[in-house]
Structure 1
Amino acid sequence: MSVCSINSKNFTMKKQTGTARAREQAFRAAVKSLRQTKLLHRHARQHRAISRLPIGPYLLLQAIALPTLFCGGLVWAKPYILGIWRDCVVFWAQRLNIPLQVDRGTGNWRSLDLIWAQSAPTADLPSNAIMLATAAATALAFLATVWMNGRLLPLKYLIRILCVVQAMALLFFWLWPTQFPYTPLSHLTAVIDMGYELLLAIPVMLAIGYYILNVRIAVKAFYTTMILAYFFVMIPNQAVLHMLILQHLSVLFMPVLYICFGAVFDVLIFVALYSWVASMAPAQATI
């Protein structure tokens, strides 16, 4: 073995030994720094995102009493709520030429007492022109999502969901146009019923995620009232918008309105409002 090869081998071994020693020193320095940081913050509390929330008897009582009071009030006020919603729907129907009329003969406080005054049962079915235009628009919207990436990814999936639901509706009305069992009036009733059920569910959902926070009970009652008032105003106007679309564009769009812009849409709005309300709570609310 030549002297040159021996020197090269010794140099390689020294280099590897130096690299291993440097790694060991870096590891020991990291461990030492971690121990010092742990000692420095040994009395710090856990972040509230990962800490358990202590729920005392008073907070537990609030989480039970508040939804009970709000839900009880909503049940008692149901005839008045439905009456105001009916008047709101009729008010806009008269001004937007929506064929809705009040049925004074029922007298049932559990219903809206409305009738759909359309001349023929098939008048709400989509025409060939609407079917073709909707099919083309759905296909173009789906193709447009191919180029949506990055920050547009949530919008991409939302548009694709809408396109899939609308495509299924197109397929149904192309194969069985006269077998669709729902009418605009039944859709209106479903939207109103789901809206009232959402009002009842809101205090219960807030009891799980908001009433257990250490916030003054007056603040909790105030924000709950504000959220309920928002949906109280929104739901009848949402129903009117649905009726306007169904009147001018036919029941072809009822599935996408019911599935994507009905209860699911309302729940998403509630989540946004809940996030806003919860963000208003101080940091001490979880202590």
Structure 2
Amino acid sequence: MAVNELTLPTWNTLNEKRQRFIFQQLTRYFLSPLLTVDAIRPVTATFYGQTLHTFEAMIGGEWVRLVPGMTNVSLGFTTNHQEELAPYLTQSDLTLADIQQMLSPVRKTDVPPMLVATRATPANEEILGRVSLTTRIFKGNHMAYAAIRAQVLALLDRHGSLDPFSQTGWPATLTSGSVKLRLASAHHYQVSIIKSWRKADLSKSLSYFGFRLPTQDQYEYLQSGGNPSLFPFGNTLPLEMPRYLPNRFGLTIPVKRTGSELIVEDLQKSTALTAQPTAKEALALSPFYQMPGEVDMASAVYRRVATITVN
């Protein structure tokens, strides 16, 4: 495959057959063979008139999507446009100096394509895979699952529907000790282990399977889609915040959050927010928001990525 095939806008010019082939090759060469690809499906994300056709796969218990890269992408936010920001400054009672202090500096960089988890995971959880409610078959990290298999099956037998094919009667979450099951579909639970670990331990665990935490540049690109506005939706806030922020790549980014999303660098890229934060608090929804200091692992989330490098 050619490098430019994996960057915007060239990726969108490829037909679906070519995209699927490239995606399959990437999952084989950039991720551990210990993690099987359980399902592949095409997805389309529409963002303010921009449409992205790509693919995602069920890998290790969660959907992982190909996000094309971009060359010479603008990151950070230019804060010297008083008129452009006037509505938000009025809403938030912040000044340009306040915003300058809390946003990353403007720069241009090349961002590589990535395989990205579509949802963020609580930082004190390690996703192992998923288990079928109908067959009890597990797919994912079998080595780690072996130690908790009996607990998982006991949870399913104790709390599940008498009819294994029923789509009702299954609780949203089940827990037993360090085991946590999260209902992921009508027929599957996602299987996780509650962990008390440091950021370095999480990073090491991800690396075993070809994943890592995103860098600051990668995080800002994934959140902003290369859009240099203050928020993904522009420079002003809507009267009522949606549950999830619009995203060029179709990633799930909730407004309500417990804390920051982890990146490689020791920076806080968000903070705890309610579903309807004040205008001032909502600045933390900006892809370019940052505060110095280590992130609290008890309230943080993480989104695993695999960086694609093609020589």
Q: Could you say which structure has the higher strand fraction?
A: 2
Q: With structure 2 as the length reference, what TM-score do the two structures score?
A: 0.26
| Higher CA-based Rg | 1
